[in-house]
């Protein structure tokens, strides 16, 4: 594998991870909306471009710093 192939493979993997995380969060939002809620939590590392996409859609994301990791409160 040369450098270009390595970059392309890494970009594809990162894109798949971002898409998967975005879909998971949107499913969580839909679940909470159906319960009449105005917020949900995401536990773990929120990928930057996923955060930017959610914020561009009007969601507010607040970092909640815990002992070992940062969690996120997503509100609408």
Domain boundaries, the chain: 3-75
Task: Name the pTM for this structure.
Answer: 0.83
Q: Mean pLDDT for the chain?
A: 92
Residue 38 and residue 75 in contact, taking contact as beta carbons nearer than 8 Å: yes
User: Per mean pLDDT, which range of 51-55, 56-60, 67-71 is the poorest?
Assistant: 67-71
pLDDT at 8: 86
pLDDT at 14 over 90: no
User: Per mean pLDDT, which range of 21-25, 34-38, 67-71 is the poorest?
Assistant: 67-71
Strand ranges (DSSP E) for 1-76? 39-43, 60-65, 70-75
Averaged pLDDT for residues 32-54: 95
């Amino acid at each position: 594998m040369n450098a270009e192939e390595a970059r392309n493979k890494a970009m594809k993997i990162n894109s798949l991870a971002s898409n998967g995380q975005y879909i998971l969060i949107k499913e969580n939002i839909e679940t909470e909306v159906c319960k009449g809620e105005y917020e949900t939590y995401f536990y773990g590392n929120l990928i930057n471009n996923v955060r930017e996409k959610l914020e561009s859609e009007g969601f507010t994301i607040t970092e909640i710093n815990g002992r070992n990791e940062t969690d996120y409160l997503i509100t609408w």
